[in-house]
Amino acid sequence: MEEKEKRIAIISILVTDRGVSDRVNSLLSEYGDWILGRMGIPYKEKEVSILSVALDAPMEITNALTGKLGRINGTSVKALFGKI
């Protein structure tokens, strides 16, 4: 079977409900083999957490993770793909 082409991507996640943080982290752990790194910034004044996740994965994997994260109430999620 042919290996799918991997693309570098960044997923940006805004978490507006701290109660869903465990679900977000659980999903990120499930996709850990594809994740290059992540950064989380708690923005206490706005009561929001800002996460940035870098991946090197087939687009289908990145899209699946983005979709699952976006279906969690209390999150806002976008993916950006590199042309590399």
Instruction: Render pLDDT for 17-68 as a digit per residue (tens, 0 to 9).
Output: 999 999 999 999 999 999 999 999 999 999 999 999 999 999 999 999 999 9
Can you give the pTM of this predicted structure? 0.91
Amino acid, single-letter form, for residue 5: E
Instruction: Render pLDDT for 67-81 as a digit per residue (tens, 0 to 9).
Output: 999 999 999 999 999
Look at the chain and report how many structural domains it folds into.
1
Within 10 angstroms of residue 75's Cβ, the number of other Cβ atoms is 19
CATH of the domain at 44: 3.30.70.1150
Identify whether 43 is part of a domain: yes
Domain that holds residue 11: 6-78
Distance, CA of 84 to CA of 64 (rounded, Å)? 20
- CA distances 23 to 8, 17, 34, 81, Å, are 24, 11, 18, 24
